[in-house]
Amino acid sequence: MIDSKIITIERFLLDTQPHYARGELTGILYDLALAAKIIAAQTRRAGLLGILGFTDNINIQGEEQRKLDIFTDDVIVRLTQRSGRLCAMVSEEREDWIPIPSQYEKGSYILVFDPLDGSSNIDTNISIGTIFGIYRTLDESKRGRLEDCLQPGKNLVSAGYILYGTSTMMVYSAGNGVHGFTLDPSWGEFILSHENIRFPDVPAYFSFNHAITNRLSQPLIAFIDWLQNLQSPLLTHRYVGSMVADFHRNLIHGGVFGYPSSPTKPDGKIRLLYEAAPLAFLAEQAGGYGSNGQQSLLEIKPTSIHQRVPVFIGNRFLVEKAQAFLSNGEQNLTP
């Protein structure tokens, strides 16, 4: 017997849609949930990559063997481009923005996504994820242009991620809180498991790649030192090296993830448009904050689709402390 309190993602999306909405955004989120199921099924077989290879069932071009990140990109583009809901896309896997082919109807939204974040972890069976953000077009009368894609995060109407971990989870916000759904593999349905997620007031973790700590600027070293020596709350260092997984853990248990600038990576590593901005949107919806060390990540307007940005994201007071250390520069390292 099925418990009447079980809420599927479809039910939740329909029930929480405002009365004036035309259902386009809900449709995109539901398409992404379907993509997530297909990708989750394939990521579970990732360990067999070398033995079986990947034969793309939905690829009309046939039996080409694909890498998982290319496969993931392909699934998302194919599932969403013909829906009539989008007018452009940006993917981490493609050099240029993606127009909607002229044979398909165009919609009002732009989808930006990183198909497989943390993909360097695939061969060691560590959690990976898909990150997405959804913007509204700047001009409904046009088919979609580069400038529609280059919007600041504050214009996001929705963002989220799919985490392929011990369970597959889809976490999203459409501007009304952050909600998490766990895939029941036997039913093939995402079920509401985490309604209205908020960063806990007392954080537990900080997540930086410690290998580069001694190459950072003095204010950054001082900030990380401050995190390490914080007594109340006492923080533990945990770094998966898969941003979605690090972000998700810190969202549930509280904490801060950082990928700052360093001498070899002056702009850090994380991409603004389809990694940093969507997670910053989620962070703010969950009571947290995302910054480049100077200002909110949501305020930065990208100048190119693959632009990188330094990132500090998590509990607001921890991220604001990073900003305080960085704004004091080399002069005063005790804000």
Residue tagged 């035309």 (tokens): 22
Residues 6+ apart with CB under 8 A from 106: 84, 86, 87, 100, 143, 144
Q: Which stretch binds ligand FDP (CB under 6 A): 7-15, 119-127, 155-163, 323-331?
A: 119-127
Number of Cβ within 10 Å of residue 171's Cβ equals 25
Task: Choose which of 31, 73, 74, 117 interacts with ligand FDP (CB under 6 A).
Answer: 117
Per-position x/- string for 274-293, each x denoting binding to ligand FDP as judged by CB under 6 A, each - no binding: -x------------------
Q: Which is nearer to ligand FDP, 16 or 209 (CB)?
A: 209
Q: Are 199 and 307 in contact (CB under 8 A)?
A: no
Rg (CA), the chain: 20
Q: Which stretch binds ligand FDP (CB under 6 A): 5-13, 115-123, 161-169, 187-195?
A: 115-123
Q: Which stretch binds ligand FDP (CB under 6 A): 12-20, 101-109, 177-185, 240-248?
A: 240-248
| 119 is an interface residue for ligand FDP by CB under 6 A | yes
**Minimum distance from residue 120 beta carbon to ligand FDP (Å):** 3
| 125 is an interface residue for ligand FDP by CB under 6 A | no
- Cα distance between the two ends of the chain: 58
**Minimum distance from residue 49 beta carbon to ligand FDP (Å):** 16
Q: Which stretch binds ligand FDP (CB under 6 A): 57-65, 235-243, 290-298, 326-334?
A: 235-243
Q: Helices 24-43 and 9-16: crossing angle, nearest 10°?
A: 160
**Minimum distance from residue 130 beta carbon to ligand FDP (Å):** 11
Using CA atoms, how far apart are residues 122 and 165, in angstroms rounded to an integer?
Answer: 11
Task: Choose which of 78, 94, 194, 269 interacts with ligand FDP (CB under 6 A).
Answer: 269
| 73 is an interface residue for ligand FDP by CB under 6 A | no
**Minimum distance from residue 127 beta carbon to ligand FDP (Å):** 10
Using CA atoms, how far apart are residues 125 and 68, in angstroms rounded to an integer?
Answer: 13
Using CA atoms, how far apart are residues 73 and 246, in angstroms rounded to an integer?
Answer: 22
CA–CA distance from 279 to each of 20, 38, 68 (Å)? 27, 23, 22
Three-class DSSP category at 53: coil
**Minimum distance from residue 215 beta carbon to ligand FDP (Å):** 12
Task: Choose which of 142, 241, 294, 329 interacts with ligand FDP (CB under 6 A).
Answer: 241
Q: What angle do CA 97, 278, 20 make, to 5 degrees?
A: 90
Q: Which is nearer to ligand FDP, 120 or 332 (CB)?
A: 120
Q: Which residues bind ligand FDP (CB under 6 A)?
A: 117-121, 209, 241-243, 269-270, 275
